Structure 1
Amino acid sequence: MDGMVIIGAGESGTRAAFALREAGYSGSVTLIGAEPHPPYERPPLSKTVNGAVQMKPICAAETLDAARITYLKGLSAAELDTGAGTVGLSDGRVLRYEKLLLATGARPRRLTCPGAARALDFRTHTEAETIFSRIGPGRSVAIIGAGLIGMELASVLRGKDVSVDMIEAAPRPLGRAVPARFTEKLHARHAAEGVRFHFDRGVAAIGDDGITLTDGSLVHADLVVSAIGVLPDIALAEAAGLATGNGILTDACLRTSAPNVFAAGDCAAVAHPGGGHVRYESWRNARTQAETAARNMAGAAETFGALPWFWSDQYDLGLQVAGLPQPAHQIVLRSAAEGELEFYLDDGRLVAAAGLGNGNGLARDIKLAEMLIAAGISPSLTELADPRVNLKTLLKSARAA
């Protein structure tokens, strides 16, 4: 056996490699990455510095060497044989594995309209460099898709005095990921910054002059960016006969339907205690699932139960959401000097929280809210809404009880 093999050198795969060492695994660890770069963080791609796209390494090459992690960059897995316990690589090599982690991530959802190839994706460092090399003051960009990625990119472009139009098939931006109150505030801020929105309309075609919408109108643009979401990269797993759906299906311990094969990150759909499988797309989820999967590959039997959390920076506003807010939840609003918080209760129990404020000003409150949620408390609604009642005091009371 050739030890542990990890397919995918993004956040999840790279963190899993180090977590194996932290768990005490001493055999060989091989990390396979399709890009020609060292593993890097994706969130900073939209945050240019002096006009240049950042590449923030997850780790240095010498750190990989020190941990005895073999990194095979610029390669992809072409074939998986779970019966033989082997992975065929794009360069013809075949690796045997003791256990395998699929951390293949997600790929951009593709447009299907005429001229779709003219639209640029915004997911990798190379794609980010292409976009930012072609924009500047006075230029115009049309972004298809008003989700988190599209809205974040729009805020950066407006800061560079680039004209921005956003096309969204839904009647509002940000879909179901962001609470309605904060969606309205972010939408209003973008509009105040000069972003033009085109809701309830799809893309009929993309041409030299820009985008023709389904109502026949034309949105002029020097550059078109597609940000219509992602799909889990499950092709390798499907071809190998693994159970898949909206991702590679796993049990609560992140084990797939094949022996000794695990999955984590954007590609994994994890069994939910309430039934079905849930797939999360976030930086923290990629890390925490990777660490759980690695410990289980090393012999543990931990169930994955981390609270979902994500953030988004748009202009000087910072959004954070912990848990899964639902329309049926009871909402308690709390004002703060730095912005606003919303708490979500299910049958009296705190299950989620969200905040929108200046920069990272609400980060401490959201962290305390996460701890309150983990404690499983049913707080006083009056105290929860009162900004004079410190959340840390509520947490101490809950722990004491």
Structure 2
Amino acid sequence: MTFVVVGGGLAAAKAVQTLRDEGFEGPVTLIGSERNRPYERPPLSKGVLLGTDPEDSVFVHSPEWYPEHDVTLRSGSRVTAIDRAAKVVRLDGGDEIAYEKLLLATGSSPRPLPVPGGERALLLRTIEDSRRISEAVTGDRRVVVVGSGWIGLEVAAAARSRGATVDVVGTTRVPLENVLGPEIAEVFAELHRANGVTLHMGTHAESVDAKSVRLADGTTLAADVVVAGIGVTPNVELAADAGLAVDNGVLVDRRLATSDPDIFAAGDIANVDHPFLKHRIRVEHWATALNSGPVAARAMLGQDVSYDKLPYFYTDQFDLGMEYTGWVPPSSSPQVIVRGDLTTREFISFWLVDGKVAAGMNVNVWDVTEQIEALIRSGRAIDQDRLADPSVSLSDLLG
């Protein structure tokens, strides 16, 4: 059997590693459109952008790992088509590669800034993007970040930490309001204000020129550098053109199999029929790539596996470190319970739906993600007074 993996990120790298770890001895080819070997992306907006981590720390495997494990690495090659009938993928150079099982881990692309002059805005997705932004946001530069989500705030924190003057533009009342709700989102707003970032909320960029950004509210911001962090789009064109079922990503079952039983999808593009959450979810964070690649690989080998990992992500901004575990249904109106002190930014916040913990976020509180996950998976209604009381251990809430 010949296995082909399309993608140059963490999900693809972990998939081919798992194939070998599970004892698969057949041909494996990994095809990535970037010229670099597979790497992780979170450091690009954190340590690499900040200058505290070397670029080569992002790579999943050493250059020698691929030949040592008999994995054919086709970097700098783009798959242009999947012929499902012939079971081959076609590359931009004209080559065809046959497969018995195929994994798509094509990731996502940052959305360009759709305003006049928006092409001037830098985007962050690749090592080269991170390097370009890192070189641009130092010293006395005036940086405008359009977008107040996780990427936008991480870029703002890195730029401000490197001495730049930073303005952040966002459409909501406070950054991350749609993700965290107003009370918890205000913690991040105050964090950035306290560190000298100027927030321009409830507005959007209308145009960009060589030295400024004009906002919809009439404000003009001086800008030597503009960075856009307004979200990403899953790269589903290849799957859609091949006739696979696509709807907000590539539709996959619990085994990460697509509508074609010989083709699987992992990472950003996978819209998973999640067996625990009883809902379709598509998550674009690092942990999804880390965990879904190996599950897809085992499914390709015929194992009866199930992708039931809870969504997890983290961020580091200034002196704040955070981990978030779980998922809140978008149609719900969750109740927020806080354990700790929002003003000192040392707390755990819980989102409850029907009295049960749906998600938890620990801020500058560590080694609690397993307990938070256990609370979520318990499916029990939790005593809210005890949940809010730091003197009651999270483990005791399950007793």
TM-score, normalized by length of structure 2?
A: 0.92
Q: Is the 8 A contact 1:341 1:356 kept in 2?
A: yes
Worse overlay, 63-72 or 112-121: 63-72
Superposition pairs of residues 40-79 of structure 1, within 5 angstroms:
40-46=39-45, 47-48=47-48, 54-55=55-56, 56-79=58-81
* Counterpart-to-counterpart distance in 1, 2:137 and 2:288: 32
Match for 1:269: what amino acid?
A: N
Match for 2:92: what amino acid?
A: S
CA deviations over 1:249-280 (Å, ceiling 9, x no partner): 11222111123000010011112457763211
**SS class of match (1:245):** coil
CA deviations over 1:232-262 (Å, ceiling 9, x no partner): 0011111111111111111222111123000
- Unaligned 5+ segments in structure 2 are none
Superposition pairs of residues 2-401 of structure 1, within 5 angstroms:
3-46=2-45, 47-48=47-48, 54-55=55-56, 56-272=58-274, 277-325=280-328, 328-335=333-340, 339-357=346-364, 362-395=365-398, 397=399
TM superposition shift of 1:385? 2.2
Q: Is the 8 A contact 2:31 2:73 kept in 1?
A: yes
- Cα distance 1:246–1:66, how it changes in 2: closer, same or farther (>3 A)? same
Match for 2:325: what amino acid?
A: A
**SS class of match (1:345):** strand
Worse overlay, 200-209 or 315-324: 200-209
RMSD across aligned positions (CA): 2.1
Worse overlay, 374-383 or 30-39: 374-383
Worse overlay, 149-158 or 32-41: 32-41
Match for 1:149: what amino acid?
A: I
* Counterpart-to-counterpart distance in 1, 2:386 and 2:202: 40
**SS class of match (1:374):** helix
**SS class of match (1:61):** coil
TM superposition shift of 1:67? 2.3
TM superposition shift of 1:330? 3.3
- Unaligned 5+ segments in structure 1 are none
* Counterpart-to-counterpart distance in 2, 1:65 and 1:10: 18
Match for 1:332: what amino acid?
A: I
**SS class of match (2:367):** helix
TM superposition shift of 1:84? 1.0
TM-score, normalized by length of structure 1?
A: 0.92
CA deviations over 1:98-146 (Å, ceiling 9, x no partner): 1000000000112221112111101110011111222321111111101
Q: Is the 8 A contact 1:53 1:128 kept in 2?
A: no
* Counterpart-to-counterpart distance in 2, 1:175 and 1:285: 23
Match for 1:111: what amino acid?
A: L
TM superposition shift of 1:215? 3.0
Count the aligned residue pairs.
391
- Cα distance 1:250–1:180, how it changes in 2: closer, same or farther (>3 A)? same
Worse overlay, 274-283 or 195-204: 274-283
Worse overlay, 111-120 or 99-108: 111-120
TM superposition shift of 1:375? 3.5
Match for 2:27: what amino acid?
A: S
Worse overlay, 109-118 or 327-336: 327-336
- Cα distance 1:255–1:389, how it changes in 2: closer, same or farther (>3 A)? same
* Counterpart-to-counterpart distance in 1, 2:333 and 2:52: 44
Q: Is the 8 A contact 1:31 1:69 kept in 2?
A: yes
Q: Is the 8 A contact 1:39 1:59 kept in 2?
A: yes
* Counterpart-to-counterpart distance in 1, 2:337 and 2:134: 41
